Structure 1
Amino acid sequence: MKRTNILIASLALILFTNVKVRAQIKLSDIFKKVTERSSTTTATGTPTTLEIGQGIKEALQIGVSAGADRLSAKDGFLGNLAVKILMPPEAQKVEKTLRSIGLNKLWDNVVLSLNRAAEDAATEAKPIFISAIKQMTIADATNILLGNNNAATDYFKRVTTSQLMQKFSPIVTTSLNKVNATKYYSDLTSQYNRLPLVKPVNTNLTEYVTQKAIDGLFIEVAKEELKIRGNLSSRSTTLLQKVFGYADRKKS
């Protein structure tokens, strides 16, 4: 009798344990499905206007930071063919003449100096862009999200160009002097202008490099904008996935 009771108790314990385990498995499956459904809804639902504003600002801050950091690094301009600063067009016309009389090194020094000056100036770009992002309205953000592939870049051109010119110009002037670009360029053009029957070359080097540095920044910002619009892997957060996924659906 005693053995029978022990056997019945053991069977009951085994049965209870199995039921409990199955219940835990079912609850685990339900929780997993709910979590997945919640995650999917969060990433693919229609964003609120507040989320659009936050998403655009997050995306642009990532993009402009990456672009500015690349250009402000050593060889950020010089090593990037898309933004490398060459001599002013009127000076490029005299390159062959100057190289033919042995001024190769001088010419190369000027080109190097122009790009180093732009790289110095680019260090000041990020806070200007970030400030523009913070001041962006919900309407600005929505227009950028649903606009063309360079809508954000166009926005930055409109609201930051004047500030960038003011900020970059003294930095470029200081940098050009620091690396002797002004002297190199003056020596180069002076020697060319002394040649008979040539049209004198006169270029405001600071203005030229400042504008080229700003142009280069916008080229890099445009690259980052295109990346996050077209490359799903660049949408690194749920918010970015939701906001730009919504834009994809609206445009399709």
Structure 2
Amino acid sequence: MKNSFKIILGASVLFLSGCESLNTGGFTLPPQGTGTTGTGSTTTPTGSTGTITQTEASQGVKQALNNGLNESIRVLSLKDGFLGDAAVKILMPDEAKKVESALRAVGMGSLCDQFITSMNRAAETAVKEASTVFVNSLSRMTVTDAFNILLSSQQDAATQFFKKSTTAELSSKFSPIIQSAMGKNNVSTYWNQLTSAYNKLPLGNKIETDLTSYVTQRAISGLFVKVADQELKIRQNLGGSRNTNILNKVFGWADQQK
């Protein structure tokens, strides 16, 4: 996990030191600055009526997102990160719920529990790989994207941005990891035992489920649940989450605009 954090933190520094891609997108962006210092850097007035520069806005949004992403990945990649959290825990596929009900009814609940645990362990393994995908997405974020996120009335605007820009890449990256992790955690073995036991019962047709696809999508969904939680903390400054000067300045400015 330390390596993942170093990757994402290092990449963020590179983003923030580079040039921003401008796209007015139907609204007027704040100026680059109200003046310059002797070294050519921009300055901006402070206080309740102050403004922020394009660079500050982009830096603040990216810093907030970087903090939230790091924390989401850290929490979910821990043992029981998925399994121990009802909001993201991966349960039986909907089409297999009747399998679970039938087997629990005949005293085979422990087999169902082992299967559910193994799926969640696979997700906890895969989510560690999300950092590089999010780094790539942050590198493509424009000034307009940053302002749209900053000023949006949606409390999960940043999360929605990442859903649109990373879901396909996350699916591609997670899928082989999930498949490998499921092998190590005996997911297929437990699934075969479940379906074999179920098929011996005179209850209905055989159940067919693409487990790799199912666990992959559930892992991604759980990740975005946590990203949205972290975004809300920043927006509402819960628990002192605006813990740097740039976060206080940028999100404080955004608060005044609403």
TM class by shorter chain equals 0.7 to 0.9
1:136 aligns with 2:141: yes
Match of 2:125 among 102, 120, 124: 120
**Alignment map for 1:190-229 (pairs within 5 Å):** 190-229=196-235
Match of 2:245 among 217, 238, 241: 238
Contact 1:43–1:241 (CA under 8 A) maintained in structure 2: no
Give the number of the structure whose alpha-carbon radius of gyration is greater: 1
1:78 aligns with 2:114: no
Counterpart residue number, 1:17: none
The 1:137–1:94 alpha-carbon spacing in structure 2 relative to 1, beyond 3 Å, is: same
Question: Distance in 1 between the 2:204 and 2:94 partners?
Answer: 15
Answer 1 or 2: which has greater helix percent. 1
Question: Distance in 2 between the 1:238 and 1:43 partners?
Answer: 15
Alpha-carbon shift at residue 83 of structure 1 (Å): 0.1
Question: Distance in 1 between the 2:151 and 2:205 partners?
Answer: 50
**Alignment map for 1:134-173 (pairs within 5 Å):** 134-147=139-152, 148-173=154-179
Secondary structure class of the residue paired with 1:85: coil
Counterpart residue number, 1:103: 108
Alpha-carbon shift at residue 44 of structure 1 (Å): 7.2
Question: Distance in 1 between the 2:65 and 2:185 partners?
Answer: 33
TM-score (norm 2): 0.79
Secondary structure class of the residue paired with 1:128: helix
Question: Distance in 1 between the 2:86 and 2:128 partners?
Answer: 19
The 1:43–1:134 alpha-carbon spacing in structure 2 relative to 1, beyond 3 Å, is: farther
Contact 1:45–1:242 (CA under 8 A) maintained in structure 2: no
RMSD between aligned residues: 1.7
Counterpart residue number, 1:87: 92
Question: Distance in 2 between the 1:150 and 1:247 partners?
Answer: 15
**Alignment map for 1:14-33 (pairs within 5 Å):** none
Aligned residues: 213
Q: Percent identity?
A: 52
